[in-house]
């Protein structure tokens, strides 16, 4: 079929919950994608960090192929030979004590919410049904009904109510507001160490340390959503590592599946995850042998530290290059993860992404910003190719 035929088919038969760019991709390798017409594009988005290791990384594809010939699913009614090693290796990589596997990032966040509430009733002594979780405004933790109940994005909430109670929202980075919101009934503080959808926002220096101290002082759990920021995206295994701060629970996902299949988990303290007993929580596909085999291959790649180092070094180069461009008002983020705020008078919105696609670069716009998060296998020359395309679209070169 021709490209337009593929697009027409999708428009006719799929729900319109996305508005994709008019490209139809059929092949990927490393940091590059190819459409059905044979045109190549540099991937400057990496599946929102799900493709940290690029498209079809040989080690990950090999692990998936090997496991496909052996066993793909058992359900948790039985043990499988990939599950225990996956949990041990993920815990050791992240310096945590216990793993609760899941599938999507949203499922991991939902699971963390359930665990935090149960811990609050069993351990903290919160009255039954009164547990609260404090979150930050402009958060993004997923799209389920419970999660959008504490979103501040009206597009995510409009006509999806009634919403789940039990959440308080405070401004991100405001420790005084957070301190005022925490009470004896607070089960957890749930935060992204770097807010992704809000614009790759790094919190004020010292904020996360103060959050940790507040949670310690009030016998409250600190839950860090690292689904997008974790697993080397920011230049560390976990984004909280930059601050020398430890959470009680983390949610991880996206990159954990190597861009092959959805794999996520809640990881953290054994005494917190240990509140779960058989029959109280489950998921048919969570911890399946195929997911665990791919996840183990991902963990092996991360254990070398190579990808963390690549994100730190190439991220500094990316931020430097983006900051030099005319038409750029601000660059935020950390590692190979940046949000480019476009200056007034320059093109913004979807036309920018469309113009970049015409120049062979796939990126994602949001209002007056561009989200840049290439695979961690990208090279300096490929970064130059992408940044030069952005400069061209914004109508200028480097600052003089």
Active site residues: 140, 225, 254
| Cα–Cα dist 62/350, whole Å | 37
Q: Are strands 221-225 and 186-191 parallel, antiparallel or unpaired?
A: parallel
Q: How many CA atoms are closer than 13 Å to the CA of 174, on its beta-carbon side?
A: 15
Q: Which residues make beta-bridge pairs with 238?
A: none
- Taking alpha carbons only, the member of 30, 23, 13, 7 closest to residue 381 is 30
Sequence-separated contacts (24+) of 381-386 with Cβ below 8 Å: 382/31, 382/42, 383/314, 383/317, 383/318, 383/321, 384/321, 385/42, 385/360, 385/361, 386/42, 386/44, 386/361
Residues 6+ apart with CB under 8 A from 335: 232, 233, 234, 235, 236, 311, 312, 315
């Amino acid at each position: 079929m021709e490209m337009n035929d593929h697009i027409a088919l999708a428009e006719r038969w799929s729900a319109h919950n996305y508005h994709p760019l008019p490209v139809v991709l059929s092949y990927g390798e490393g940091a590059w994608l190819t459409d059905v017409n044979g045109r190549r594009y540099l991937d400057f988005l990496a599946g929102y960090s799900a493709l940290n290791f690029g498209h079809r990384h040989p080690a990950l594809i090999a692990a998936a192929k090997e496991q496909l010939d052996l066993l793909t699913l058992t359900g948790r009614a039985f043990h499988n030979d990939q599950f225990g090693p996956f949990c041990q290796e993920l815990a050791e990589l992240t310096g945590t004590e216990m793993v609760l596997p899941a599938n999507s990032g949203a499922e991991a966040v939902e699971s963390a919410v359930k665990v935090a509430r149960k811990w609050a009733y069993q351990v903290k002594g919160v009255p039954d049904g009164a547990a609260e979780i404090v979150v930050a405004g402009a958060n993004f933790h997923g799209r389920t009904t419970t999660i959008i109940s504490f979103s501040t994005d009206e597009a995510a909430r409009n006509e999806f109510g009634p919403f789940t109670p039990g959440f308080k929202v405070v401004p991100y980075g405001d420790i005084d507001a957070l301190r005022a919101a925490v009470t004896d009934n607070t089960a957890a503080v749930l935060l992204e160490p770097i807010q992704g959808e809000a614009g790759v926002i790094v919190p004020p220096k010292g904020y996360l340390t103060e959050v940790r101290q507040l949670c310690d002082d009030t016998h409250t759990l600190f839950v860090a959503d690292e689904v997008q920021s974790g697993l080397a995206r920011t230049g560390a295994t976990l984004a909280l590592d930059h601050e020398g701060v430890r959470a009680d629970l983390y949610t991880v996902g996206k990159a954990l599946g190597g861009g092959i299949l959805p794999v996520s988990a809640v990881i953290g303290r054994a005494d917190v995850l240990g509140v779960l007993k058989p029959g109280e929580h489950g998921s048919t596909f969570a911890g399946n042998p195929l997911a665990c085999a791919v996840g183990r291959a991902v963990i092996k790649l991360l254990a070398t530290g190579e990808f963390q180092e690549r994100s730190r070094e190439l991220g500094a180069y990316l931020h430097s290059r983006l900051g030099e461009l005319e038409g750029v008002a601000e660059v935020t983020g950390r590692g190979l993860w940046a949000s480019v705020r476009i200056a007034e008078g320059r093109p913004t919105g979807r036309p920018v992404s469309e113009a970049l696609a015409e120049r062979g670069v796939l990126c994602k716009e949001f209002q007056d910003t561009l989200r840049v998060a290439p695979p961690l296998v990208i090279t300096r020359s490929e970064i130059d190719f992408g940044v030069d395309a952005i400069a061209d679209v914004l109508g200028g070169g480097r600052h003089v």
